[in-house]
Amino acid sequence: MNRKYPACCIILVIGPKDSGKTSYLKILAERAIHRGLTVGGFLSVNHTNPPDKKKYFLQFLKTGQEKLLASTTCTSRQAIHYGEYFFDPKIFELGNRILKSSIQSNLIILDEFGPLEQQQTGFYSGFNFLLKHYKGILIIALRPALQSYLKDLIYRYR
């Protein structure tokens, strides 16, 4: 079989909202780091207990730095409104740069591939770059509704 792009190992972590995908990915990242692997990408985290789901932050796995990802309150004139959340387009630019700059990592986590990525916005450009160029382990969180779409997209690149 001729491949268009170099193959990476892609693992999908699929589950409904609030099923523990991010918690699972955090544990995987910690274990990989403990074993000496380099880990790139990001987690989408909510720090309230119990989660109030009003704000989500991108937590960059290489640095631990966090930036506001989504909020139920509009914070920018350029905000992208999807569902009950507002996203500053600059966070997607930053997230895509993080994904692309993680290409030398042993493991990259994308938490999560959602409807915006299905519309080829959000973190799509970083994801697409990794599909074409990354040779390590790529772990992607997503909800069941996007499973078929994402699998078809991945197979088109293989």
Instruction: Answer yes or no: is 3 within a domain.
Output: no
Counting the structural domains of the chain, the total is: 1
Instruction: Answer yes or no: is 1 within a domain.
Output: no
Q: What is the pLDDT of residue 147?
A: 97
Rg for the chain (alpha carbons), in Å? 15
Look up the domain containing 23 and give its range: 9-47+56-65+90-156
The model's pTM: 0.92
Instruction: Answer yes or no: is 142 within a domain.
Output: yes
Percentage of the residues of the chain whose pLDDT score is greater than 90: 83
Instruction: Answer yes or no: is 112 within a domain.
Output: yes
Which tens digits make up the pLDDT trace of 21-48? 999 999 999 999 999 999 999 999 987 7
Work out the pLDDT band at 52, boundaries 50, 70, 90: confident
Instruction: Answer yes or no: is 95 within a domain.
Output: yes
139 touches 108 (CB < 8 A) = yes
Angle at 41 between CA 37 and CA 45, to 5 degrees: 115
The span from the CA of 158 to the CA of 7, in Å, is 7
Instruction: Answer yes or no: is 148 within a domain.
Output: yes
DSSP lists the bridge partners of residue 60 as: 42
Instruction: Answer yes or no: is 72 within a domain.
Output: no
107 touches 130 (CB < 8 A) = no
* CATH code assigned at 37: 3.40.50.300
Instruction: Answer yes or no: is 75 within a domain.
Output: no
